[in-house]
Structure 1
Amino acid sequence: MELHGIFVPLITPFGPDREVDLATLERLAHEVLDDGAAGLVALGTTGEPGSLTADEQEAVVEVAARVARERDAPLIVGARADLARRPEVTAALSLVPPFVRPGEAGVVAHFEALAGEVPLVIYHVPYRTGQELSVAAIRRLAAIPGVIGMKYATGTVDVLGDLPAGFSLLGGDDPVISPMLAIGAHGGILASAHVATRSFADLAAAWRDGDVARARTLGGPLADLSRALFAEPNPTVIKGVLHARGRIPTAAVRLPLLPATRESVAEAGRLIGHHLQESGQRR
């Protein structure tokens, strides 16, 4: 199974009472699919899963699964023990073990043991986990039965050739998604694609189709937009912008996050507004 295109790791919107707003979450999921997203991610880092109760996490997955079922869209979910009972779930997003730095052999053994009923997309983000992986180690991980892809967020752009068929490389650093696609990534998991979703989808399509001129036209402005959306801890600026544009009821986040500053939200909003006007998009 190969995953292609732009997946949106959904925020978890909160209402005025600071409770999870499931109706808004459902609407947002439909909106990004309407605007060209290839699939959804629930309970990724962008969704603040660590600040949600077990019941809230279950409710979020239920909404995402319903939308995925209705839209026949792939769904990736932050690793949970009960995903096998949900036929809508395409894969579990599973982080390289953080903090302990088990070494490459330990990482490979971990995923060999973890692979089971639900396909895995490995999340490799060494500036969060503390664990680097060589290209050779990534190839070993890609060869594990049941591992179907990797969210690759190393802060750099690397060439990863000779990966097995059925294994999808998905860029995870929003500002450098264009060069990642240029060197052969299958797509991306991009929080920035909550806004200007169509442009991010068009960027992936342009590189896939070999339309270099179109890809270059899109890539620079989207990189600038992504940097603005990540000027403060994710997803605080994204939530601020979505709220300012009337797409979610509040910009609230839960501790340990704090809301983004007015200045960061304003700058990202300015870039988004300009881009949407130039491209003729609505959101």
Structure 2
Amino acid sequence: MTLSGLYVPLITPFAADGSVDLPALERLAADVLAAGATGVVALGTTGEPSSLTPAERASILDLLTGVCRGHQLIVGAPAPPTATAALTLVPPFVRPGEDGVIAHLTAAAAASPVPLVIYHVPYRTAQPLSARAIRRLAAIPNVAGMKLAVGGIDADTIELMADPPFAVLGGDDVFISPLLALGAAGGILASAHIATAEYASLVTSWQPALGHRLARLSAALFAEPNPTVTKAVLHAQGRIATPDVRLPLLPASPESVRAALQLITPAPVA
């Protein structure tokens, strides 16, 4: 498979009664795909999967499998055979070391019915990886690429991007512009629920001024734990029925929501 372009890790909208609002999710998915996204990510962190029941997760996958016909659907691992790829986290918390990470992901790739997109986010997993280790991961059969979210542009990122061994998708929204300038193939960006067409334009044709402006928007949308501000903005735009999140998340503050709304270029809601 070819990984490139913009992927939107979808929120899970909730109705007023607390249930998953599937019609709203269907509209959001259709909106971002129509606005230029290559595909969507289902049941990633942005979708609050740990707070969903098995039945809710299954209903989301069924819905998005239908909406994404003709587009790519990446699913938080484990992914069904109908997905394009499985977003697979570097083992968190246990800190197995680079050799342990490689052994674990080699086994996961061999068992997966679809290619893996490895999610490297060391400030969440507590497991750093050198550029050399990432190149070893790229050599594993059935690994398609990596969502890279190391919290900035560090020395290993510079070394890796000098000659990327596979598709690297930026996963830190605020830093997507410099990563694209270094040669990233695209991004998995929760911020792209908002101003999707502009994020898609940035990914396909990097523009410094647009990158700077969208970085400010991304920073505002991530001012509180993701996806709380994004959900509140979508609600303010009339695109979802409630801004609700499930514990352990709490709703975004009015101040953060106002700050994000002030950075959005006025445009008609789809």
Identity value in percent: 62
Q: Does 1:265 align with 2:257?
A: yes
Task: Find the counterpart in structure 1 of residue 193 from structure 2.
Answer: 194
Q: Does 1:55 align with 2:51?
A: no
Note the C-alpha offset of 1:281: 6.2
Structure 1: unaligned runs, 5 residues or longer: 208-214
Cα pair 2:237 2:269 within 8 Å, conserved: no
Give the residue type in structure 2 aligned to 1:43.
L
Aligned length: 263
Q: Does 1:171 align with 2:167?
A: no
Deviations 1:179-205 (A, max 9, x none): 000000000000000000011011111
Q: How does 1:1-283 map to 2 (within 5 A)?
A: 1-69=1-69, 72-80=70-78, 83-84=80-81, 86=82, 89-116=83-110, 117-157=113-153, 158-159=157-158, 160=160, 161-164=162-165, 167-207=166-206, 215-272=207-264, 276-277=265-266, 282=269
Give the residue type in structure 1 aligned to 2:118.
I
Distance 2:223 2:8 in 1: 19
Distance 2:203 2:26 in 1: 24
User: Alignment partner of 2:199: what SS?
Assistant: helix
Deviations 1:223-247 (A, max 9, x none): 0000000000000000000000000
User: Alignment partner of 2:8: what SS?
Assistant: strand
User: Alignment partner of 2:144: what SS?
Assistant: strand
Task: Find the counterpart in structure 2 of residue 212 from structure 1.
Answer: none
Length-normalised TM-score, structure 2: 0.95
Cα pair 2:43 2:57 within 8 Å, conserved: yes
Cα pair 1:196 1:281 within 8 Å, conserved: no
Note the C-alpha offset of 1:162: 3.1
Task: Find the counterpart in structure 2 of residue 211 from structure 1.
Answer: none
Note the C-alpha offset of 1:254: 0.2
Length-normalised TM-score, structure 1: 0.91
